[in-house]
A and B are shown apart, each in its own frame.
Chain A
Amino acid sequence: MKEFAFIITFLLIVAGVAVVRAQPADDAQLEKRMQALTQQLRCLVCRNETLADSPADVAEDLRRQIRDQMKAGKSDQEIIAFLHERYGDFVLYKPPVKSTTYLLWFGPFVLLIGGTFLLYQYLGQRRRMIADKPLTDEERKRAEELLKQQVG
């Protein structure tokens, strides 16, 4: 219970920091859209932070730029295209599907299908290895004797 309270407190603090960092937008709806969009984009300075979370100066400029474009009525797709044109694939947390990213996108499925196939093969082999071996007459007689003893 104590740990639970601790985790909740921690999460609240983290959420609070995230809110403080984000510049307040004119209206809540725009801010919500900003959050959703900048969560998918990567900051170019703090390389492993989203554009939404990064305190870097450049990230601040980019957020201002995005906000301006949203106010100008640009769609999320248009804004992403704008940034992609300037900063390349690196700015996208969700990489585009293209020849250099096929392995990234389809690799896990290939592994899953390949793994299933191998597992299936292996299990089939095992089943063949432990094929039924019927008891000989002698063994059966002995088994019956043992059973009788048990019952008796």
Chain B
Amino acid sequence: MNRLLLIPLILFAVLVGFFFVGLRHDPNGELPSALINKAAPAFELPQLQEPSKSFSPAEMKGKVWLLNVWASWCEPCREEHPWLVEYSRSGIVPIYGFNWKDDRAAALRVLDELGNPYVLTVSDADGRVAIDYGVTGAPETYLIDRQGVIRYKKALPLDKDTWEKEIVPLVKQLNR
């Protein structure tokens, strides 16, 4: 038999291989963040509870902390919220809220209803600072080290697995 006849078959097998991988690939999966190991962008935003006061990441120098992007209109954030409340009680790492493109009253209502896991929350009402952080959706969580460098980002709601296997070990390592 002519061996050349096998070429289409082999090409077909390769194509099937690509489809197999491609179709199992989640098109809405997490994207690698461009900001990992880069300095957390500076900002100065009003606090949600006390808009006359502001907050800037520069105040957190020397501490390992989490910045959690959330909004009252964000359904998955509600799912995540009870976990955050629980984690905040553990005292392993302080969680700061980043209220994104939200209505102030609605945001405050969420904290009233579901509890407040945040040391404090800043309001980015028009979403300009979020662009600096490369936010594409909510919730998103950033882990920032003592030097103010972003060491980790999760663009999905945090759950027990992520918390125990990814965040806690990294926090411990960074606090060492």
Contacts and interface: CB of A to CB of B under 8 A. Distances in A.
B66 to A, nearest CB: 20
A27 interface: no
Interface in A117-137: 122
B164 to A, nearest CB: 28
Contacts of A22: none
B128 A57 contact: no
B132 A45 contact: no
A85 B34 contact: yes
A116 to B, nearest CB: 16
Interface string A94-133: 0000000000000000000000000000100000000000
Contact of A87 (B101, B126, B127, B136): B136
A87 B31 CA distance: 9
**Which size bracket describes the interface of A in this complex?**
10 to 19
Contacts of B22: none
Interface in A39-73: 44-45, 47-48, 57-58, 61-62, 65
B27 interface: yes
Contacts, number: 43
A89 B174 CA distance: 28
A65 B128 contact: yes
B133 interface: yes
Interface string B129-140: 011111111000
B147 interface: no
Contact of B28 (A47, A58, A84): A47
A2 interface: no
A58 B34 contact: no
Given A44-B136, A58-B137, A88 B32 contact: yes
Contacts of B27: 47-48
Contacts of B128: 61, 65
A10 interface: no
Nearest to B101: A57
B127 A61 contact: yes
16 contacts: A44-B136, A44-B137, A47-B27, A57-B101, A58-B127, A61-B127, A61-B131, A62-B131, A85-B34, A86-B35, A86-B131, A86-B133, A87-B31, A87-B134, A90-B32, A122-B4
Interface of A: 44-45, 47-48, 57-58, 61-62, 65, 84-88, 90, 122
Given A44-B136, A61-B128, A86-B132, 8 more contacts: A44-B137, A57-B101, A58-B127, A58-B135, A65-B128, A65-B131, A86-B131, A86-B134
Interface of B: 4, 27-28, 31-35, 101, 126-128, 130-137
